């Protein structure tokens, strides 16, 4: 299991990840891409604990996601199940686990300041940190997707599920977009990946 898992993370992080996983009754599975999440953690009916991570993540996002999910497991072990999923216990655990990985042998120099800022108060998803999410996407394999912040005002675009929207004005952090079929207003993170439609 761990040899295939290690193929997805930076080589310089292998030994530290092995140390995190070696003593735990933890199953880690690499899954096909899921559009709604990068990974998850849950306790199985047999008492074991399972983490799943998407296979399409670049090595840096994969590593962050893996440690995010290990932090859920460690927080569960230490504080039991009566804590908030992304509450202070999980945040402290995530910060503690992530700190040894934040150096230039593992992450590119351009990511380190953004990661340091993010881990002062980590969020439920690194995608909600638009600056970090955009920087991490620069290490993805190239695709034909456009970021919402790049879409011209009034331009139509579609999501992976083929729902069509028109881009509107920017609020404080997110963009107002109207779903063409329903007229409903939705807010999009600037770094959401979409497909432009020809006018």
Are residues 105 and 129 both part of a single domain?
yes
Assess whether 77 and 169 both reside in one domain: no
Sign of the CA dihedral with 154 first, then 157, 159, and 164 last: positive
Give the model's pLDDT for residue 117: 93
- Specify whether 151 is located in the same domain as 127: no
Give yes or no: residues 57 and 130 share one domain: yes
Highest mean pLDDT out of 15-29, 59-73, 81-95, 122-136: 59-73
Which range among 34-38, 72-76, 176-180 shows the weakest confidence by mean pLDDT?
34-38
Residues 132 and 153 in one domain: no
What is residue 199's predicted lDDT score, i.e. its pLDDT?
Answer: 62
Same domain flag for 106 and 29: yes
Average pLDDT, the chain: 88
Instruction: Choose one of 89, 108, 137: the last residue of a domain.
Output: 137
What total number of domains does the chain contain? Answer: 2
Question: For the segment 3-33, what is each residue's pLDDT rounded down to a tens digit?
Answer: 478 899 999 999 999 888 876 668 889 998 8
pLDDT per residue as tens digits for the range 139-188: 988 776 788 988 999 999 998 888 999 999 999 888 999 999 999 999 99
* Domain co-membership, 124 together with 169: no
CB 159 within 8 A of CB 194: yes
Report d(CA 163, CA 81) in Å as an integer.
37
Same domain, 64 and 131: yes
Pair (85, 182) in one structural domain: no
Give the Cα separation of 114 and 129 in Å (integer).
Answer: 9
Does 120 lie in the same domain as 83? yes
| d(C-alpha 7, C-alpha 14), whole Å | 9
Q: Which two tokens stand for residue 119?
A: 């881990």
């Amino acid at each position: 299991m761990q040899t295939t898992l290690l193929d997805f993370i930076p080589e310089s992080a292998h030994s530290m990840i092995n140390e995190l996983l070696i003593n735990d009754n933890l199953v880690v599975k690499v899954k096909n891409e899921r559009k709604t999440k990068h990974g998850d953690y849950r306790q199985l009916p047999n008492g074991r604990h399972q983490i799943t991570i998407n296979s399409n993540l670049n090595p840096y996002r994969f590593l962050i996601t893996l440690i995010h999910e290990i932090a859920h497991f460690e927080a569960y072990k230490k504080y039991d199940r009566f804590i908030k999923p992304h509450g202070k216990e999980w945040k402290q655990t995530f910060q503690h686990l992530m700190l040894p990985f934040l150096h230039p042998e593992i992450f590119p120099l351009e990511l380190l300041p953004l990661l340091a800022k993010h881990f002062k108060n980590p969020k439920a998803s690194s995608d909600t940190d638009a600056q970090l999410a955009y920087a991490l996407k620069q290490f993805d394999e190239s695709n034909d997707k456009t970021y919402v912040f790049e879409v011209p005002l009034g331009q139509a675009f579609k999501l992976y599920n083929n729902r069509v929207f028109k881009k509107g004005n920017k609020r404080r952090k997110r963009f107002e977009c109207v779903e063409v079929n329903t007229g409903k207003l939705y807010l999009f993170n600037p770094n959401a990946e979409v497909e432009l439609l020809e006018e």
